[in-house]
Amino acid sequence: MQTYDLIVLGSGVAGATIAATCRSADWHVALVESRVLGGTCALRGCNPKKVLVAAAEAVDRVRHMQGKGIAGAISLDWPELIGFKETFTEAIPEKTAQKFSDRGVDIYQGQPRFTDTNTLQVAEQTLRAKQIVIATGAKPRALDIPGAEYLTTSDQVLEMTSLPDDLLFIGAGYISLELAHVAAQAGAHVTILEALPQPLKQFDPDLVDMLLQASREKGIDIHLETPVASIEKHGETFMVRAGNDGAQTFEVERVIHGAGRVPNLDGLDLEAGGIQTDGRQIVVNSYLQSVSNPAVYIAGDVNASGIPLTPVASMEAGVVVTNLLEGNSAQPDYTGVPSVLFTSPPLASAGMTEDAAQQAGRAYEVVFQDTSSENSTRRLGLHYSGLKVLIEKETHHIIGAHLLGHNVDEVINIFTLLIRAELDVSALKETVWAFPTVFDYHVDAIV
């Protein structure tokens, strides 16, 4: 049996940060990874996806400017793009292993399984530690439909060396819409089936409606209130039956799972570890510590009570590190955390939506403006942009910011700072901003 001060499960942003920081504090640390070292964001998620998004954005920009000074055809070469994406991911496992080795963190690769509150079995190795951190990330939610075995995951999409002509995404969330926009720019016919009447609940519904219009203009076929009933394999294609009666049919070459993710707790045998769950996630206190096993903490996407974003995983890792090294004193603060949907145009949000503000009993004013006709949008040949800002009546603080349009993935960071700093909205007008810029147009709309 190998004994440690700390065992970390998972080598993504949260797990890697916790392992490295505790090792720097002279703890004896082991890290266990059941997949390839490096984590979802670096290998199968946000970073490689953003490489694809960048190419799609470039093609989209040129197409919007055709007839406005830009001439000539343009196309996206999918195999070449995937090859370019590989230059960002192929070296990560080896570099990650070397980084941990250099720092003196022991690496174990295999499926971990609790055998008691402080002990894990990994293949033939038995490991024991004073503290254990579960940072195993998330996985695609299991879909209870006939033919679910034919689904392609987002991981697999990022590995496809050729792009099918017809794709169908189940669900209209982050994964589906971002990859759908990339595939559409690459020439594929894309269909999205969403069971709910309004997707993307974490974003402002008015701006979501504008994004759906923009998506449809790009040829993306979006069906709301259309649950998938079954998937059938017909030779080289798949027949998707949808609608409450399964009467709608779609024949496509690939069906992609974009209907949400859940904490990845597979194979851990949490019951043996004395770790309480609510059937879906580990139950933790405000310090991200298991309520039933004080030796265990969690961080990152495995924490379904948090926000499944890489910067949040990093923040939660810092919280857990503090609580491990100094005792329970730190708690995660999700105030103003920004979210971005990297579509064309991108959609961004920070702080409260109107629904959240109403549920919290906050009295607020709304500034809502369709900025599609503003110069900042028209000069790019774009057709859709808008903003909605929530300003608290009593304090004049911005409590929510929601943006659609070019460059809002960067602009939202300014609003995040304004929300967290609790600045009076008048500070926007009193500050001289660079002009003409997207943010300056937003300021003019707000104050």
Q: Which residues are annotated as a binding site?
A: 50, 171-178, 194, 260, 301
For 146, list phi and psi in degrees, rounded to 5: -60, 135
C-alpha–C-alpha distance, residues 147 and 230, integer Å: 6
Tokens of 85: 């994406």
**Long-range contacts of the stretch 246-251 (C-beta < 8 A, 24+):** 248/223, 250/168, 250/191, 250/193, 251/166
CA 255 to chain centre: 20
Strand pairing class (228-234; 237-242): antiparallel
Rg (CA), the chain: 23
Sheet containing strand 339-341, edge to edge, reads: 339-341, 347-351, 398-404, 386-392, 364-370
Cβ–Cβ under 8 Å, residues 199 and 208? yes
Side-chain half-sphere CA neighbours of 104 within 13 A: 11
Query: What is the DSSP secondary-structure string of 118-157?
Result: TEEEETTEEEEEEEEEE---EEEPP--STTGGGPBPHHHH
* Binding annotation for FAD: 50, 301
Peptide bond into 436 cis (omega under 30): yes
Binding residues for NAD(+): 171-178, 194, 260
Task: Assess contact for 110 and 123: CB atoms under 8 A.
Answer: yes
- Give the pairing type, strands 106-109 and 248-252: unpaired
